[in-house]
Amino acid sequence: MANSPSHRSPASSTSAGRDSGSLSHSRDRHDPPSSTSADAVANPVPVETLVEHLLAAKRSLSSITAVLRANEIATDARQAHEEAVVLYAETQFLQHAISEQLALLLKVRRGLKRTYDAGKRDFKNLVKTMDATNEKLQETMAMLKNTTVESVFRPPGEERRNLMDFVDEKSVHVMVEALKQSLGELQSIQTSFDGDLLRFDDDLRALKKTITASPLPRIPSDSSAYDPIPELLGSLVDHSHCMAQLLTSLTKHFDLCVTAVRTTEGGAALARRRAAEVMQSQGGDGVSISGVIADQESHMPDLDPITSQDRADMLEIVVSDASEVDSVIQELNERLQAMEEEFSAMTQQTEQIKAAFLGTLDAFNTLEEMGGRMASYIASEAEFLQRWEDERYTIYNKLGEMDDLRDFYEKYSNAYDNLILEVERRRMVEDKITSIWKKAKDNVDKLMENDRREREGFRQDIGEFIPTDLWPGMDGGMKRWELVAVDDGTAEDDASGGQRSTPALDRSVVDAARDRLDRSQQR
């Protein structure tokens, strides 16, 4: 067992183990005898020494348990490698499929988010539009409330009233409340859709968490923590092969020791006796006699001696190999220890792959469950859009009604100003008519006075010469005319106690109404 090396790393021991650690008896028996062989002939090995080598060789064969364990490890490593390769491929396939589905889910989520954000922007615009419309309506209503109806238009003694007192303000409050209710409905629609988005996000987070919980080990080139599984497997197989070779060399050494003892006079008997002593001293746990020299051979004579040269060569090999038995056993143990460590490292990696596979299965199941809810998420978007559009249509109708009402109120205010101007126009016409009638009455009165004087002169001059029965109406007075205002039931008492059909307004009131109308026409 020349130059048996100490334990090496998996990379180095694989190549070196095959060349070293094998016993030297593997060399050709027909090699020319060396000086050592000549010395062996001159100085034969004592039979006691040969028996000790035999017993040591027999004990070394117990290393078969290490070789069996090495074979078991190599077999388990192959199975683990095959399983890991399959699981790694399946995990990669599933993770790729899950990644594609996750990308689609994120795309759907972004689409839902755009819809939701568009709804929020539309809601803000609606609120601004509603506030602006309501503000204009309230300004118009405030203008009506600040416009006091002139007392000349109302019955005497009535409390002062404004233009707003003559319209139904309740309709405005009803309209505003309806808009508030519609806004609340929009918020409810948003909240419902937002809840669906939150549940969607929870599903996505759960899926991502499941994916990242058991990551697949990175490729070997990206990791320096462990050797790649194929390299570990190759090292384990090499270790197992080398250990089998070492065990074979130990077996051959044992067989050669048996031959050496049997070809030595008294060797077999001494071997059986020493084996029995060992068993007795160790309580039966020592070397079996039958394992050294078969019991059935105990009554057979020793083998005939071989030639001196062959025996010398054999003894040289036995003695040389005997010195290497311990180093071979040590190498077997060191290789087994290295295999245990490498198999542990390999097992750790394969367990990571199994965990990644199981985690990927969990992620796939989570994805499958999430897929069952996708229809509801997509349907929630369609429902949101439909309900939003319906409520939006209702709101804009209400806003249109508010604009119409504001327009009516503005026209109502303008109509009142026009009423003031109309009253002033009527008063002016009435005053003109009154002036005309007054002038006409004065002229008529003058004509009638002249006519009276002419009649009186006529009677004095010639009246006594005309018989009275000639024209009975000759002494009658002139026919009289009176201008009387016709009351159609709408006449009003003026300040002097008379009646007027049109009330008189202060000049400032008329001018203010005219200014308001001018400003309204300029808008």
pLDDT of residue 26: 44
Query: Of 481, 482, 505, 483, which is closest to residue 492 (Cα–Cα)?
Result: 505
Q: Is residue 326 part of a domain?
A: yes
pLDDT of residue 482: 78
For residue 269, the enclosing domain spans 47-151+163-218+226-399
The DSSP code for 160 is P
- At 500, which helix (H) or strand (E)? strand 499-500
Q: Residue 297: how many CB atoms within 10 A of its CB?
A: 14
Return d(Cα 145, Cα 161) in angstroms, integer.
Answer: 9
Q: Which tens digits make up the pLDDT trace of 232-246?
A: 889 999 999 999 999
User: Within 13 Å of residue 37, how many CA atoms lie on the same side as its CB?
Assistant: 15
pLDDT of residue 415: 92
pLDDT of residue 478: 80
Q: Is residue 34 part of a domain?
A: no
Secondary structure (3-state) at 493: strand
Q: Is residue 30 part of a domain?
A: no
- At 354, which helix (H) or strand (E)? helix 325-462
Q: Is residue 1 part of a domain?
A: no
Token pair belonging to 466: 């005309």
Q: Is residue 372 part of a domain?
A: yes
Q: Is residue 289 part of a domain?
A: yes
Q: Which tens digits make up the pLDDT trace of 356-412?
A: 999 999 999 999 999 889 999 999 999 999 999 999 999 999 999 999 999 999 999
pLDDT of residue 34: 45
Assess whether pLDDT exceeds 50 at residue 428.
yes
- At 499, which helix (H) or strand (E)? strand 499-500
Query: Of 161, 158, 164, 123, which is closest to residue 142 (Cα–Cα)?
Result: 164
Exposure of 505 by Cβ count < 10 A (0-12 exposed, 13-18 middle, 19+ buried)?
A: middle
Share of the chain above pLDDT 70, in %: 80
End-to-end CA distance of the chain: 117
Q: Is residue 408 part of a domain?
A: no
Q: Which tens digits make up the pLDDT trace of 49-107?
A: 777 878 878 888 888 999 999 999 999 999 999 999 999 999 999 999 999 999 999 99
Of the ranges 34-38, 115-119, 169-173, 307-311, which is most confident?
Answer: 115-119
Q: Is residue 13 part of a domain?
A: no
Q: What is the number of structural domains in the chain?
A: 1
